[in-house]
Amino acid sequence: LSVLSDIDRYPEWNKNLKKISVIEKKSINDRIQYVESRVPFPYKNREVVVRIQSAWDEKLGAIVLQSQSVEDERAPKDTGCVRAKLIGSRYILKPTQDWKSTELTIEI
């Protein structure tokens, strides 16, 4: 969770990342961020403004990060990128039985 929540560490796991910024941190478990990703020529880079919320899911026994696109007037405008729309995604972080590692399931 700390890696997925730390925007300075995004380049470690997202090799196509060009820009990222937190637009608003509502709480430790709720933020709005802007992300621009590189895509190969001749296509235009993609950008998304997304709200990410995390919480412990008792039923799953896991931390769940849910995200979806949002409109926010504070996001960069006229960047030359294609604005993507994320209908929804879930990152499910569940400790392994021995608690020595984390199982990650991603649904987009």
What is residue 13's predicted lDDT score, i.e. its pLDDT?
A: 86
Average pLDDT, the chain: 94
CA 24 to chain centre: 14
pLDDT of residue 1: 83
* Residue whose tokens read 């990222």: 20
Number of other residues whose CB lies within 10 A of the CB of residue 32: 19
Q: Is 46 left (phi over 0), alpha (psi -120 to 50) or beta?
A: beta
Q: What parts of the chain have a pLDDT lower than 70?
A: none
